[in-house]
């Protein structure tokens, strides 16, 4: 399996540090506002990477932080007359909610900067003791970039060149403009914690590095984020790790391309953004995922609502195919010998699964993975057109399961049991027999099964039979299983 490693500028065979296990970390958001869909793209890309590694059989431990103390949060709090903690709490919850709506799996570990101050102070102290950091009169602590000969290796930057371009800040006692803050002395009205260097708060680059070391152990296998984090954030993170613990922070560094609108990076500061929330209020998560996964994660992604509308159609095509396959399977009488058409569909399923893996093994080529799924959809649609009443139940179910499972690796959730499996007449039956008042066939089915159960318990055999017969008249049978009764289509 090949993964592009930013550090070495090439795709490399992925070999985890501990066989069968992957420890990965992706820098999380600064929680001062709703995230935009550019941020969403990065988090979604790593969700798929994690899902695929799990699909390949790796035991993945995934950590992602919440940056809940930062200038942006403090500024927002001051504007709104609230505390920084209140702002951070509101937008931490908002972030997690939108991630759930997008179908992004929760990290195994979600550390929050404000709760990990000890780990950060411990790392800063090691850096000071080893001569890589220094305390100035104000109480700030800085990392001495020049003390690390490897500085610049990750992002391919030369320290002397950087020096020429560096902005010389006013009111700082940094020894070198390239040095960055590990600890910022407290200012009035800002949250702060006690430390050996005086009250203050951690710097952003310090946070991820210390939390990775604390929760996952360094080095980790994969560290990710958007391309805009390569420098200075990740360069600074790995510099701290080398200097504190004599090894790099991560073996493989992965970075996502920027989501753009009309050729420009989507960002809060440019004002050209759509929040993930507003997009998910209008579009299904599956469509957002399809749009984003049609482009390779390292390439820039050009967002437009026209493309998103197109993705809605693509999602429907997937869902309709699954629905038709299941419907055909329910209604088919054919369960015996396979014919040529069945065998062709069987081969298409195997090819799709193999192609999907080949594409995804090549640095998570999700566009290729989607194409493999759609090749199967095309084959399945052709099969359904040709097979008619002769559909093989087993093959139709295998094809629909394969589509659902491969889509799931990309985090695209399809309904396995689709609504149209159940006839709408169930609603009338439930109204007549069980006093149901809604109009969903699924609910009606549950209400009817429940009513039949209760009638039987009460030895009201007439009612129980009437319900069963009414269901049978709709071409369904009641099947009593260990997990309770359920409906299925009659095969003959
Ligand atoms: P931030 O909260 O600004 O640190 O951003 C959270 C994550 O979103 C980081 O990994 C950024 O690299 C990423 N990101 C920010 N803007 C974009 C964009 N336009 N497209 C893709 N990823 C982005
Ligand atoms: Zn980070």
Q: What is the pTM of this model?
A: 0.86
Distance (Å, whole) CA 55 – CA 98:
24
With the most atoms of ligand 1 within 8 angstroms of its CB, the residue from 207, 226, 301 to mutate is 226
Amino acid 419: pLDDT: 44
DSSP of 153-214: TTTT--HHHHHHH----SS---SSTT-EEEEEE--TTS--B--TT-SEEE-HHHHHHHHHHH
CA 444 from chain center: how many Å? 34
Ligand 1 touching residue 29 (CB < 6 A): yes
Strand, helix or coil at 112? strand
Distance 226 CA to ligand 1 centre (A): 5
Given this model, what pLDDT does residue 172 score? Answer: 73
End-to-end CA gap in the chain: 47
Query: Which residues have C-beta within 8 Å of that of residue 485, sequence separation ≥ 6?
Result: 449, 452, 453, 478, 479
Average pLDDT over residues 235-261: 97
The bound ligand whose nearest atom lies closest to the alpha carbon of 240 is 2
Q: What angle do CA 302, 303, 309 make, to 5 degrees?
A: 130
List, for residues 283-308, the tens digit of each pLDDT value: 999 999 999 999 999 999 999 999 99
Cα separation values, 115 from 65, 66, 68, 151, 251, Å: 11, 10, 9, 29, 27
Rounded Cα distance, 30 and 28, in Å: 7
How far apart are alpha carbons 15 and 58 in whole angstroms?
A: 11
Both structure tokens of 219: 């080095």
How many alpha carbons lie under 13 Å from residue 46 in its C-beta half-sphere? Answer: 29
**CA proximity to 406, closest of 329, 299, 330, 293:** 293
- Which pLDDT score, from 0 to 100, does residue 77 have? 96
Whether 30 is in the pocket of ligand 1, judged by its Cβ within 6 Å, is: yes
- Which pLDDT band holds residue 492 (cuts at 50, 70, 90)? very low
What is the mean pLDDT of the segment spanning 101-119?
Answer: 97
Mean pLDDT value across residues 466-475: 89
b (16+ CB within 10 A) / e for 294-307 = bbbbeeebebeeeb
Confidence of residue 106 (pLDDT cuts 50, 70, 90): very high
Tell the residue nearest (CA) to atom 2 of ligand 1. Answer: 29
Strand ordering across the sheet containing 264-265: 264-265, 259-261, 301-302
Cα–Cα distance for residue pair 417/326, rounded to 1 Å:
8
CA distances from 377 to 55, 143, 315, 381, 438 (A): 21, 55, 12, 6, 34
Residue 311, pLDDT > 60, answer yes
Mean pLDDT of 372-391: 89
Lowest mean pLDDT among 188-202, 245-259, 386-400: 386-400
The C-alpha atoms of residue 7 and residue 248 are separated, in whole angstroms, by 11
Residues 6+ apart with CB under 8 A from 408: 51, 414
Give CA–CA dist 91/36, Å, rounded.
Answer: 12
Q: Is 31 in the pocket of ligand 1 (CB under 6 A)?
A: no
Query: What is the pLDDT, as a whole number, of residue 331?
Result: 65
Q: What are 390-426's pLDDT values in tens digits?
A: 788 889 999 999 999 999 999 999 987 654 567 888 8
Number of CB atoms found within 10 A of residue 331's CB: 17
pLDDT of residue 333: 58
CA nearest neighbour of 299 among 1, 45, 24, 27: 45
Of all protein residues, the one whose alpha carbon is nearest to atom 14 of ligand 1 is: 39
Amino acid 85: pLDDT: 96
Closest CA to 45 of 340, 263, 297, 214: 297
- Residue (of 210, 142, 148) closest to 175 by Cα position: 142
Residue 226 Cβ inside 6 Å of ligand 1? The answer reads yes
Tell me: pLDDT of 491 over 60: no
Q: Looking at residue 42, what is its pLDDT?
A: 98
Supply the Cα-derived Rg of the chain in whole angstroms. 28
Nearest to 6 by CA among 250, 360, 220: 250
Q: What is the pLDDT of residue 250?
A: 98
Weakest mean pLDDT among 99-103, 198-202, 353-357, 472-476: 472-476
Instruction: Please work out whether the CB of residue 42 comes within 6 Å of at least one atom of ligand 1.
Output: yes
Number of H helices, E strands in the chain: 16, 15
Mean pLDDT over 18-24 rounds to 98
Reply yes or no on whether the pLDDT at 204 is more than 50: yes
CB 263 within 8 A of CB 270: no
Residue nearest to atom 5 of ligand 1 (CA): 29
How many residues are recorded in the chain?
A: 492
């Amino acid at each position: 399996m090949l993964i592009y490693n930013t550090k070495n500028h090439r795709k490399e065979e992925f070999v985890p540090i501990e066989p069968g296990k992957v420890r990965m970390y992706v820098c999380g958001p600064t929680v001062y506002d709703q995230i935009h869909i550019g941020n969403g793209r990065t988090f979604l890309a790593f969700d798929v990477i994690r899902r695929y590694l799990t699909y390949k059989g790796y035991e993945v431990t995934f950590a992602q932080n919440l940056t809940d103390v930062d200038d942006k949060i403090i500024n927002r709090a001051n504007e709104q007359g609230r505390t920084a903690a209140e702002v951070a709490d509101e937008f931490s919850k908002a972030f997690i909610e939108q991630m759930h709506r997008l179908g992004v799996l929760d990290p195994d570990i979600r550390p929050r900067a404000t709760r990990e101050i000890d780990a950060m102070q411990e790392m800063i102290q090691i850096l000071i003791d080893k001569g890589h950091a220094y305390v100035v009169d104000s109480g700030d602590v800085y990392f001495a970039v020049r003390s690390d000969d490897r500085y610049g290796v990750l992002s391919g930057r030369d320290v002397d060149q950087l020096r020429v371009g560096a902005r010389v800040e006013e009111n700082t006692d940094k020894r070198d403009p390239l040095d960055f803050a590990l600890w910022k002395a407290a200012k009035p009205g800002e949250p702060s914690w006690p430390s050996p260097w005086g009250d203050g708060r951690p710097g952003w680059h310090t946070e991820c590095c210390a939390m990775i070391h604390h929760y996952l152990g360094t080095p980790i296998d994969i560290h990710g984020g958007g391309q805009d984090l390569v420098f200075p954030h990740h360069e600074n993170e790995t510099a701290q790790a080398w200097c504190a613990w004599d090894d790099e922070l991560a073996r493989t560094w992965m970075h996502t391309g920027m989501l753009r609108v009309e050729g420009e990076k989507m960002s809060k500061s440019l004002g050209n953004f759509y929040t993930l929330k507003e997009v998910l209020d209008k579009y299904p998560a599956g469509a957002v995922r399809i749009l984003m996964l049609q482009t390779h994660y390292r390439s820039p992604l050009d967002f437009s609502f026209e493309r998103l509308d197109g993705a809605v159609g693509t999602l429907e095509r997937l869902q309709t195919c699954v629905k038709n396959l299941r419907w055909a399977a329910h209604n088919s009488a054919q369960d015996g010998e396979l014919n040529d058409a069945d065998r062709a569909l069987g081969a298409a399923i195997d090819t799709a699964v193999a192609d999907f893996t080949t594409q995804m093994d090549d640095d998570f080529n999700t566009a290729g993975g989607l194409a493999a799924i759609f090749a199967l959809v095309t084959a399945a649609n052709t099969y359904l057109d040709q097979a008619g009443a002769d559909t093989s139940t087993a093959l139709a179910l295998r094809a629909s399961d394969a589509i659902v499972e491969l889509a799931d690796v990309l985090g695209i959730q399809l309904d396995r049991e689709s609504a149209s499996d159940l006839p709408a007449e169930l609603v009338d039956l439930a109204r007549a027999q069980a006093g149901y008042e809604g109009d969903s066939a699924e609910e009606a089915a549950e209400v009817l099964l429940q009513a039949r159960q209760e009638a039987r318990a009460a030895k009201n055999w007439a009612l129980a039979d009437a319900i069963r017969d009414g269901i049978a008249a709709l071409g369904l049978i009641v099947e009593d299983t260990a997990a309770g009764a359920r409906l299925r289509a009659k095969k003959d």
